[in-house]
Structure 1
């Protein structure tokens, strides 16, 4: 009989290249087992259909996962025009077929109104809740409820390829953007319908899938080799300026007390005593307020 799994404290960030057909939570649990990490979380879900970058946080790094939820994200999306599904992607049932009578030039022109600030109505097959119930649960019961349009920003929308009734788009967008909805809105503007056949997330903020590892790759490595894929917890904070505190100030900050600094107002990553202390915010008076404090974490800066 095999012994019980021994979980241990692991502090770090893993850039995972999630495969298709797996939920984000299943991918997280598989990665946790590889590292025997006692505590873990992800920085925003990817649909089972989608593959690509899923940053995972272990231990003290989970304190910063919320900061990456608000980051811009980049996707490569494959669309099939002429077929609409109830979920907006290839996992759903076909509910409508329509002719495709536009060409590449019309398609390229239809992208322009979707760039910049737009409003989207969230899909029924989403994790948003109505009266405490996820919309996807209602959708599976055949219930459709009114949803309020939300403001999102499409920073970049590129047409990468066109082949008959299919195309590939690259989208860099703000938090809360639904690529399935974007695909349906694009098709609607062309008098057509569409759904996603594939979706791959290639970037989250400054993090890129080119630096990620797959579960299969981790499975083939020794425990020591796997550890080389773990990044320091402050990986998620690299877009913020750094403040380094002397010993006394570092101890005060580490115990949750504000300290005076000569720095511009705003959020920052804070170091002292040769380690990461946490996330802070400098106010207009030059007072550095602790926002999230970590314990005993080595710095990567």
Structure 2
């Protein structure tokens, strides 16, 4: 008997992820609740983290790289005085310090974490080492030395502070680890630190206000979930939009360069639509777009 493949559903569902649930678990539950054929997410959140988790359904999965590269914002609390094995409150304390930073010292240190920085991911992370996930190796007791990676930090600001904690907001690019920021900030201040609470407040064009609560994701609430779906092109707002001609639409849907109307720099990545229907992402070649990802929306 052939396995049921699921329904063709296209678009984005923004979930307000609670603590204690893995990102892949959220994707699986969304796919099950909607009986969707295909689903994926655009940026992992740690199990203990909360906030915006953008779930792509169907053809929207072809836009995931666009959202993955977009800026994201996080609110988080750093606890001073201890460094942990996971760089957050779930790990074992490995070092302690009686030093506590002043507000002035924290503000002065933040400038060293803005702009182009190099960041070593937490040892308990999804980074692959010789084909294995770092967190799996850590669970097996292996000591993993992870290489530093570049990260763009748009901004890092202090929101509030107490003697033992600091509340911060960071806007950063792809591949940012808030836990690493907390660890490295604590080291730079000589007091050590780890993340206590972490919440992603927005990811690209999607904010927490767009999110549906995780506990509402159930087949009994399928109509409510579908009403919360955002169109595929919601993830493409940072790309120039082009309008295909009638002949251009036919050619683009067949994977060929197609005539478009609109303005963009030659060679720029754009997205193309016709009659409010998204057709593709591609390169503008002066009057035509060469598609790189074509949307088969039926």
- TM-score scaled to structure 1, two decimals? 0.91
1:154 aligns with 2:153: yes
Q: Partner residue of 1:177? A: 176
Q: What residue in structure 1 maps to residue 72 of structure 2?
A: 73
Q: Provide the residue aligned with 1:276 in structure 2.
A: 278
How far, CA to CA, are the matches of 2:151 and 2:5 in structure 1?
43
SS in 2 for 1:279: strand
The aligned residue for residue 256 of structure 2 is: 257
| 1:258 Cα deviation from its structure 2 partner | 0.6
Structure 1: give runs of 5+ residues left out of the alignment.
none
Return closer, same or farther for 1:256/1:145 CA change in 2, 3 Å cut-off.
same
Residue-pair matches, total:
293
Q: Distance in 2 between matches of 1:74 and 1:274?
A: 30
Could you say what secondary structure the match of 1:239 adopts? coil
| CA displacement at 1:55 relative to structure 2 | 0.5
The alignment partner of 2:87 has SS state of coil
Distance 1:244 1:173 in 2: 32
How far 1:225 moved relative to its partner?
A: 2.6
For residues 287 and 144 of structure 2, the distance between their equivalents in structure 1, rounded to whole angstroms, comes to 48
CA distance in 2, matches of 1:68, 1:46: 14
- Contact 1:74-1:204 at 8 Å conserved across structures: yes
Aligned partner of residue 175 in structure 1, secondary structure: coil
- Aligned to 2:280, the other structure's residue is in SS state strand
Do the aligned partners of 1:31 and 1:215 also contact (CA within 8 Å) in 2? no
For residue 19 of structure 1, what is the aligned residue in structure 2?
18
8 Å Cα contact 1:258/1:289 also seen in 2: yes
Query: Which digits, 9 at most, give the CA deviation of each residue in 1:122-147, with x for residues without a partner?
Result: 22111112221222222223322333
> Deviation of residue 161 (structure 1)?
0.9
CA RMSD of aligned residues (A): 1.9
Farther-moved stretch of structure 1 (109-118 vs 85-94): 109-118
CA shift for structure 1 position 292: 0.6
